[in-house]
Structure 1
C-alpha cells in the first residue's frame, strides 16, 4: 500500500471514521439510487403488452382469425389478421385493456410493430454503453461530484420529457438520453460513496439491498398508477429533488490524487467538524503526496492505460465475461416478465424482493469464502435455475405446473444473477488501481450494457421460439462461473493505488493481517 493511501486512511479515522458525515452522505447516495433503478427497469412495465382484441364493425361470425372470437363483443383476442369471405386482412382496429396503459397500447405496438418495444429497450442500453465509455474518463478527470450530479440532472430532465412524448420515436430518443444519464450515474456513484468511507465499513455498504427495495417499490407504484407517462413524471420529479444535495463536497481522495492539496485539506477539516472530532494535523499531507511520484500534480491517465500490461488485460477480459452475462441475464429476466404467469405487478414486485436476502448474504459470503467462490457460487445458481426454466418451457406438462415451475426457477435465476452481479462489482473495484478505477469500472459497465442491449432482441425471438432466452442465459452463466475461477482472490490482498504499484505487485500473494485492516477505502462498493 502506498504511503498516501495509509496517510489518508489514518486521517479519515482521525476525522471520526464512520461518523455523521459518512452516514448522511451514504444515505443520500443510496436513496438517490431510486432514480437509476426506476429509470432502468421502466421498460419492464412501459414496454409490457396489455391484453388486446381486434375489432371491426365489418367482422361477423363468418370471419376467422388467429385469435379467439367472442360473438357477444365482436372481438378477436390478440389477432393480427382476420379472414373475411376467403380473403385475409390486417386487423382494422385494436382495443387494449384500459387497466394498463403502456407504450404498446399508446401507439399500438403489436403485430407488425412488435419489434419497436424491443428496439426502444436496446436504444436505452445503447445510451448506457456510450456513457460508460465516456463517464469513467469524466469522473477521473473533472471529478466525482460534477459527474454524479450531472447524471441526476440528465435523468430527471429526460424522464419528464419522455412522459410528454407524442410518438414512439420521440420516446425512443428520450430513452437514449435516460440511458446516458444512467450510465454516468452507475460509473461514478460507487466510488463517490466509498471514497469517504473507512476500510472496515466497505462490506457493510454491499449488504444494504437498496436497489432491490427501490425496484420492489417500482412494482407497487406501477400498480397504483398503471400509466407509463405518470411513472416517468414521478421518476423525473424524484430524481430532480436530489440535485438539492449539491452542498456535499468533492471526493478528497480524488482531489489528492490530482494534486489539489489545499481543497482536499478544507474538505477533510469539514468532515472532522461534522463528525464532532478535532481537526487532524495536515501539515505533512503535501510532502507525503510529493513523495509518491505517481501522484505528482499534473499526472493524468487515459482510457488506454486500462490495457497497459498483460495481467490487467487478462483480468479485464475475464471480468468482462461476467459483466456481459449479468447485463444480459438481469434485463432478460426482468424485461421478459411477460413470460411469467400471473399478475404482472406481483411478478415485478417478486422479481425485486427475491434479491434482498441474496444481497444481504453477499456481504457475509464475500468476507467468509472470498470474492472468487462467491462469484462462482451465484453464477452456478443462475446457470441451474435458468436452465430449468428453459426446459420447463419446452416439455409437455400440465399448464398450471408449468407456470409454477417457470415462475419459481425464474425467481431463483434472477436472485443468482443479481447476487453474482453484486459480487463481481466488488471484484472489479478491487482489481483496478485507484488512478484508473473509474475508467475500468466504466468499461465493464459498458460491456454489461452490450448484454442488456442483446436481451430485448432475444426476448423478441423467444416469443416465437420457446426457451431461447433462458437457454442463452444459462450458457452465459456457466461461462462466467468458469471465468470467475481464473481471477485472483482479492480478499486479504493489497489493492494498488497506481499503475506503477500494480505492475510491481501483480504477482504478490497474501499480506500480513495487520495490512488487511488498512486496505484503501477506495476499493469496494
Structure 2
C-alpha cells in the first residue's frame, strides 16, 4: 500500500488542484444550505383565524379592519391575553347583511367549519397555508421538518459505509442524481404526505453527497490546511441559506422558491461526474494503479513532476502475512476501547451541535424583527464565526476551541432567556435578547464547523466516512428532536432555550476529553488510531512492528510513512507491541 502522505508532500499540501476541487465540492454544501433551512420560508406559519363569511368579505363589510373581524368572530381569553385562533363564535353568520346586529359573542364556540383565513402579506402561499397545517393539523408542520432529519439520519447510516466500501466518487454521483430528482418531486408536491416523503428523500441523498465531498476534501490537503478548507466548506452552507432568503424574498410562493432552488442545484451532478476518486481512499483500498493515475493528474495541475525516486520513497508498505484489502464497517468503530469511547463522545457532540444549531436556526421566525433580516443576520454571525476560526483554530487547537464555542452558545442562550423574561415592552431589552440569541448562533456555528473537521481527523482513513456518518446519525437525532423542543414555547416561552443552553454547556465540558489533532498527520489504520487515543501521538506502525524505532528510553518518532492497513484479525499479534509503546509514551505524553 502506497503512502499518500509522502506523495502529498511532493505534490503539494495545497495547490491549484486542491483549490479547484475544494471549490467545486463545496458547491454541494451550498445546496445543503438551500435544503436544510428553506423551511424557515416555505413552511412559514403566518397569522391565521377561522374564516367567517360574510363578515370578512370586504365587499359586504368594507369598513371592518382585520382587528375588528378578529374581535367580532374569535374568542378571547382574558387570563392568557390571547385569541383562540382555532375556534370562532357559533352565531348564525348568514344573518350578517352589512350590519353588526348578527354578532353574538355569547354564542357557543365552534371549530373553524369554513376553513381558515391567512395573512398573505408576506408569502402568497406556504406549505402551511396550502395544506392547512394549523390547529388540529399543526403537528404535521414539525413532523415534516423532523422527517427531513430522519432522512439525514438514514443517509448517515447508509452512505458512510457505502463511501468507505465503494469509494467517494460513486457515492457522490448516485446521491447527487437522486437528490435532484427528489427536489423536483418536492417542488411539484400536491399533498403534505407527498411533500414530506420527498423532503425526507432529499435529506437522505443529500447526506450521501455531504459525506463523500467533505471527507474527500479533508483527504487531499495537508494537515496544515485542513482547517482552511474545512471552513470554506462550511461557509458554502451559510451562503446557501442566505441565498435562499433572497430567493424567498423575490418569489413569495413556496413552489416557485423550491423550483429556483432545484434549478440552482443541477450543477451538482456534473461536478460529481467530473471529480476523480479520492487517491487516499484508492491507496487505502490497495487500488494502487488508479491511485497513481489520480495522483499524477494532481501533480500536473499543481505543475509538479513526480520522479521514480518519489514513488520509491512512498514505497510499498510492509504487510503482515495474509493481510489484504479489508472491508470495514460501522461495527469497527465499537470493537476497541479507544475508538469506542471516542465514537460515543463524537456522537454526543454531534447530537448537541445539531440540536442547538437547528433549534436556533429553525426558530428564527419567532425572533423580534423581520424574518428576512434575521436570516441575513444569522448568516453574518455564522460567517463571523468562521473568520474567527480561521484566525485562531490552528493556534488554539480543535479541542479547546470546540469547548469554548459550545460554552459561548450555551451562555448566550441562557442569557437571552433571562433578558427576554424581564423585557416586557422594553425595546432595548428585546433587542438585547435578540443579540444574545445571535451570540449563541455565533458559538454553535463555530462548534459545528469544528466538529466536522475534528471528526475526520479523529478517525483513520479505513473508517473515516463511517466515523463521520455515525456522528451524523447522532446529529440527525438532534435535528429530529429540535422542532418538538421548539414547540414547547407554547407552554413555557423560556423552556426551549434553557434546554438548548444546558446541552451546549455539557457538550462543551465533554469536548475536553478528546485528544488534540491539530497539526498532526492523518491516521490510516485503526491500530494507529488506538495508539493515538491513548497517547495523543500518531505513530508509524511499520516501525512498531520492526521494533527498530523503539529506543531504550521508550521514546520513538511520530511519523506516518508506511502505516499499515491492518485488520482486526491481526490485532492479537500487533496489539502487544502497540500497548507496550503506548504505556511507555503515557508518562511523557502532553495530551
Map of 2:210 onto structure 1: 186
Deviations 1:207-255 (A, max 9, x none): 4322222222221222111222122212222222221221221011111
Secondary structure (helix, strand or coil) at the match of 1:130 reads helix
CA 1:334–1:384: 2 relative to 1, 3 Å: same
Match of 1:79 among 80, 85, 88: 85
Partner of 1:226: 252
The equivalent residue for 1:215 is 241
Q: Distance in 1 between matches of 2:528 and 2:69?
A: 77
1:113 is aligned to 2:137: yes
Q: How many residues align?
A: 511
- Is this contact kept in 2: 1:252–1:268, CA < 8 A? yes
Question: Which of 16, 19, 31 is the aligned partner of 2:15?
Answer: 19
Residue 279 (structure 2) aligns with: 252
Alignment of 1:95-494 (within 5 A): 95-98=117-120, 99-100=122-123, 101-208=125-232, 209-245=235-271, 246-281=273-308, 284=311, 288-293=315-320, 297-395=324-422, 397-493=424-520
| 1:516 Cα offset (Å) | 8.3
Does the 8 Å contact 1:261/1:285 carry over to 2?
A: no
**1:430–1:16: structure 2 CA closer, same or farther, 3 Å change rule?**
closer
Q: What SS class does the counterpart of residue 354 from structure 1 fall into?
A: helix
Q: Does 1:36 align with 2:60?
A: no
SS of match in other structure, 1:160: helix
Distance 1:151 1:305, change over 3 A: same
Kindly indicate whether the alpha-carbon contact (under 8 Å) linking 1:256 and 1:289 is maintained by their aligned counterparts in 2.
Answer: no
Contact kept, 8 Å, 1:392 with 1:405, in 2: the verdict is yes
Q: Distance in 2 between matches of 1:108 and 1:57?
A: 18
Distance change (3 Å), C-alpha of 1:57 and 1:287: closer
Call closer, same or farther: CA 1:517–1:199 in 2, change over 3 Å.
farther
Counterpart of 1:54 (choices 46, 50, 53) is: 50
Determine if contact 1:152/1:243 at 8 Å carries over to the other structure.
yes
- Cα displacement (A) at 1:71: 4.6
Structure with greater Cα Rg: 2
Match of 1:93 among 115, 131, 139: 115
Shift of 1:292: 4.0
CA spacing shift, 1:191–1:289, aligned 2, 3 Å: farther
Of residues 390-399 and 446-455 in structure 1, the stretch that sits farther from structure 2 once superposed is 390-399
User: Displacement, 1:165?
Assistant: 0.5
| Deviations 1:461-518, CA, capped at 9 Å, x for gaps | 2223211210110110011011011222222445431012223443224579996899
Farther off after superposition, 194-203 or 388-397: 388-397
How far apart, in 1, do the equivalents of 2:423 and 2:537 lie? 53
> Structure 1 residues 416 and 353 mapped into 2: Cα distance closer, same or farther (>3 Å)?
same
Q: 5+ unaligned residues in a row in structure 2: which ranges?
A: 57-64, 75-82, 92-106, 539-554, 564-591
Question: Is the Cα contact below 8 Å between 1:255 and 1:263 reproduced in 2?
Answer: yes
Return the TM-score normalized by structure 1.
Answer: 0.90
- Could you tell me how far 1:289 is from its partner in structure 2? 3.9
CA RMSD across the alignment: 2.9
CA 1:366–1:309 in 2, change beyond 3 Å: closer, same or farther?
A: same
CA distance in 2, matches of 1:502, 1:517: 12
Partner SS for 2:487: helix
| C-alpha separation in 2, matches of 1:192 and 1:87 | 64
SS of the aligned residue for 1:82 comes to strand
Q: Which has the higher contact order (CA 8 A, sep 6+)?
A: 1
Q: Deviations over 1:122-163 (max 9, x none)?
A: 111001111111111000011001112222222211111101
Q: 1:129 to 1:294 in 2, by over 3 A?
A: farther
Length-normalised TM-score, structure 2: 0.80
Q: 1:412 to 1:300 in 2, by over 3 A?
A: same
Does the CA contact (< 8 Å) of 1:125 and 1:452 recur in 2? yes
**Does the Cα contact within 8 Å between 1:115 and 1:460 map onto a contact in 2?**
no
Contact 1:163 1:233 in 2 (8 A): yes
Residues 155-200 of structure 1: CA deviation (Å, up to 9, x unaligned): 2111111010000010000011011112212322211112222333
Partner residue of 1:64? Answer: none
CA distance 1:295–1:371, change in 2 (3 Å): farther
Cα separation, 2, equivalents of 1:263 and 1:519: 19
More displaced 10-residue stretch of structure 1: 88-97 or 392-401? 392-401
Q: Is the 8 A contact 2:460 2:522 kept in 1?
A: yes
